[in-house]
Amino acid sequence: MSTISIHRTELLRITHNRSRISRQRFRRTIPLWKLTIDSRSSDTSKKEELSVKISIPPQVDQLRPEGLRFDRLQPPEQEFGHEDRLEFGKFVAREAMVDEEYWTAAWLRAESHWEDRSNERYVDNYKRKFAEQEFNAIKRRCKGMQGQKCSCIVAVKKEEKHIKRSVIKSVVGTLDLSIRYFLQGETFPGEKVKSQLFCSINREGSNRYGYIANLCVAKSARRQGIACNMLRFAVESARLSGVEQLYVHVHKNNSVAQELYQKTGFKIVETGKFESLDDDTYLLQYTR
């Protein structure tokens, strides 16, 4: 019977005790009749050789933080024990108090961020990851960093008799209010100034300002004055903290947001040659 020698794949054998690699080639003698196969079986064997079993490792980051109860009912307002709140219509603006409210605020921001890209592939996974990162960021900011105070303000639905809502269904709007200090030489946030190599931050009351960011409202609750009243509550909260100057950045193409802020009392700051951040945004200041 005729035979033919076939070279097998070259293998590497590692010898640990001598720290060197030895190479071995394996030969195998196969009868020639075994090599006579039809095209179908050849295709099948090729498919089998190319089939690779991939094991996907478990996700390192969970989609939702631990310890949150997503079926938790909205606690009564009396449990919070704070007087700083603004009631308007069917809603109340106040600071977020429980982790479930922080998470819902983060999810609203994720929904707003991906609102115009809802048809993209894996968009739900992106939103979940965005919400998780934003939730952790909110928690860090509200704990205070470098002496700065930050508050996550939410708009929630008012309590109604005989109606129980979960926290997720109660929060309909959110924004961040942070109390910051001007850097040495700054007259407005983000101003490009020439400063010394080593400079200090003046922590006097007159050197503080408020900064508003991450304003968004649930799509189902828009056109009900929620954004305006959250801004009014943020302005009043800043004043109670002894801060008179409030700023916000708005994208130049976002005419709806510009109209909202101007309606609430903000005006565009003429930065002149001292441009701040980038050329795609306007800096607005509360002037009333």
Q: How far is CA 79 from CA 75, 83, 161, in A?
A: 7, 11, 17
Long-range Cβ pairs for the range 25-30 (8 Å, 24+): 29/3, 29/4, 29/5, 30/3, 30/4, 30/6
Maximum Cα–Cα distance for the chain, whole Å?
102
Closest residue by Cα to residue 112 from 51, 197, 173:
173
Per the residue annotation, which of 247, 261, 282, 286 is the catalytic one? Answer: 261
Instruction: Assess whether 261 carries a catalytic annotation.
Output: yes
Tell me 183's DSSP state: P
Which three-class secondary structure state does DSSP give residue 148?
strand
CA distance 267 to 250: 11
Which three-class secondary structure state does DSSP give residue 160?
strand
Closest residue by Cα to residue 230 from 93, 65, 36, 26:
93
Active site residues: 261
